[in-house]
Structure 1
Amino acid sequence: MTQDLLADSVERLLADCCTPQRIRDIEADASIDKLWRELNESGFMDALVPEAKGGAGLTLTDAFAIVYACGKHAVPAPLAQTMIVRAILANAGMTAPSGPIAIAATMQRDGNNGFVCPRVPYGRVAEWVLVEEAGSWRLLATKAAHSNSSGVHASQESDITWSAVPADAPRIDAPIEARVLGASLHAAQLAGAMARVLDVTTRYANERTQFGRSISKFQAIQHQLSVMAEHTFASRMAAQMGCHSTSHLPDPDLAAVAKARTSEAALIVASIGHAVHGAMGFTGEYELHLFTRRLHEWRAAYGSESYWTERIGASLLAQRDTTVDFIRARLFPEV
């Protein structure tokens, strides 16, 4: 399947099953079971699983269109996260569960046998969470845990607490940090969400009239839209870099660049989108907030731009190449 065919297929699926009203319903605590069955039956969640294990055998580069579309359609379920964890489990010779899988950035011990994973993206709807500890990944069931909402309106993040590590939870060697997995995927989702905000805002500016003409004819609005477009397309390029890989796993340095650039742009794009819309953008019936809320939440998930730019700087200082050589060798792979 070519990149264009894959992109068209996933776009059609998500446009049909992730309508704005369905997203609102799930955010208001409606069940995701029916949506999850539809997504599971599509086969996209096995895109990164090797062909020998029943999947499509795609690389993360190939699967970028799937992750990007998850952001563009504000999918209220961890499709992309489940996709990559299924590949991890398959390559470790393990059978993946059928339910939604979230990825925790960190885990904190509570002083006894328990621990908490704070602000887990999609934690409210996940049945399983990939947790990292001491260089290993463990897949833990949320039914054995206590979940606390983040307290933010309609957010799907939650703090998940286990009283003890389940004895039967298998260990998988972790070649990279779980935070890197999440950062790479969220960068692509951020890029997709920004593209949707740009589309919605441009359409509104063309349709909204003031003083006898559409507001898109005013130079001030045109300037705002051009800034939004600049950040949106730069973010897509950065997100594609973050998913550039010959396997199912991202490169840590490329993921860092992708998350830093998309997180930086997210606030700008969200701000301009609401500025152009005015009061209309804040109404519950309008779709803009479904994406701008996610831009704010996903910007911080797995580390904001300040965290990842610091990581890039540390990576640069840890080797002896010049800055230019580092950029050429590590941040601009041949594609």
Structure 2
Amino acid sequence: MTMFAQAIDTLLTEECSPALVRAVDNGGSPQILAITLAEAGFYELMASEESGGGAASWNELFEVVLLCGAHAIPLPLAQTIAARTITSTPDQLPAGLLTFAPSLARGLDGSVRAMHVPFARTASHVIAADESRLLVLSLGDADRLPGGLHGSLTESLVWHAGAGKQLAAVASDERFQALGALLHAGLLAGAMKRVFDLTMTYANQRVQFGKSIGKFQAIQHQLSVMAEHVAAARITAEAAFAAAEPLPPITACAVAKARTSEAAQLVASTAHALHGAIGVTEEYDLQLFTRRLHEWRIAHGSEAHWNRLLGRLFLGSKQLTSVEFVRSLFQAVQA
């Protein structure tokens, strides 16, 4: 574990308890956690040393994002950190927590609309790709429509014509969306590992017919399949974060989000099947993570969206087999 990961793990263990996550999910304020993270310097983790940042690499960011998922952090910390890498003028970014809009549309009256924005309820500003530029919009100026699901931090937002501040982008619209997907792939991988750990602990503690249910072969089979999906999700996310480019390649991001989103459904359903009724209770921590698995799965595109993109690339490639094609997607990462 890197120095940055150790520091964030300690901080989140102390400050981001399941009780806090429940409170925020139920409408409470995350302000104390946000201030603690800001004072610890985590917002500037990927900013240059010259500007007072940590100059962290994408490799180092991966473990931080993984831990954010493992602690079900109710703040867009990953997006706030990564925001410093997507503009050539990071000094013009507003203070506070920043989240990424999956899409941006303009109404006939010039209004700006961003639908299903992750972490909108706890962010201060939204960053959206506006053709070749970035648009930074204040949540304080938006008309907000809650996601409608219990505990959801996602909101749809509308701003009046002319709202927002433009920044110079260093990434295309497509790459910006891929980056948002990759950050959620890391969050999913971390949350899935936590769900697996909770399920393993429960299976070893729950006794039925004189022995723990984890000793029954049928349960062991389900746990082993679950473990395979958790491992595959982490591997694909970690490979995409290990990019040698200034920003991770779109193809690697697509593989990571497609694989983690696919695994999220199976991991969540298996966990609840093995836990039984206790898994959905408010007092038990499992539902804090499985709710996020379902929500993060569709954020910035589900597996269907990214598999479609990869399919088109494969059909247009010169690779003879799917294995060769997948290997080619990560060649830039391994360089």
Q: Report TM bin, short chain.
A: over 0.9
User: How much does 1:125 deviate?
Assistant: 1.4
1:131 aligns with 2:128: yes
Partner of 1:7: 5
Alpha-carbon distance in structure 1 between the residues aligned to 2:125 and 2:294? 24
CA contact (8 A) 1:207 1:214 kept: yes
User: How much does 1:248 deviate?
Assistant: 5.4
CA contact (8 A) 1:84 1:248 kept: no
CA contact (8 A) 2:142 2:158 kept: yes
1:47 aligns with 2:30: no
TM-score (norm. length: structure 1): 0.94
Structure 1 gap segments, 5+ residues each? none
CA contact (8 A) 1:77 1:122 kept: yes
Partner of 2:327: 328
Structure 1 residues 318 and 52, CA gap change in structure 2 (3 angstroms): farther
Alpha-carbon distance in structure 1 between the residues aligned to 2:150 and 2:109? 32
- Map 1:1-335; keep pairs closer than 5 Å: 3-89=1-87, 91-166=88-163, 169-176=165-172, 177=174, 178-246=176-244, 249-323=247-321, 324-332=323-331, 333-334=333-334
Out of 66-75 and 322-331, give the one that drifted further: 322-331
User: How much does 1:315 deviate?
Assistant: 2.4
Structure 1 residues 135 and 319, CA gap change in structure 2 (3 angstroms): farther
Q: What's the RMSD between the two structures over aligned residues? A: 1.7
Alpha-carbon distance in structure 2 between the residues aligned to 1:222 and 1:319? 40
Q: Residue type of the partner of 1:230?
A: E
Identity score, percent: 41
CA contact (8 A) 2:86 2:170 kept: no
Q: Residue type of the partner of 1:172?
A: A
CA contact (8 A) 2:5 2:60 kept: no
Structure 1 residues 247 and 128, CA gap change in structure 2 (3 angstroms): farther
Alpha-carbon distance in structure 1 between the residues aligned to 2:18 and 2:221? 29
Alpha-carbon distance in structure 2 between the residues aligned to 1:233 and 1:282? 24
Q: Residue type of the partner of 1:153?
A: H
SS of residue in 2 equivalent to 1:94: helix
Count of matched residue pairs: 331
CA contact (8 A) 1:60 1:247 kept: no
User: How much does 1:325 deviate?
Assistant: 4.5
Q: Residue type of the partner of 1:126?
A: A
SS of residue in 1 equivalent to 2:165: coil
Alpha-carbon distance in structure 2 between the residues aligned to 1:153 and 1:41? 31
Instruction: Provide Cα deviations, 1:200-250, integer angstroms capped at 9, x if missing partner.
Output: 010011111111111111111111111111100110001102212235522
User: How much does 1:41 deviate?
Assistant: 1.8
Structure 2 gap segments, 5+ residues each? none
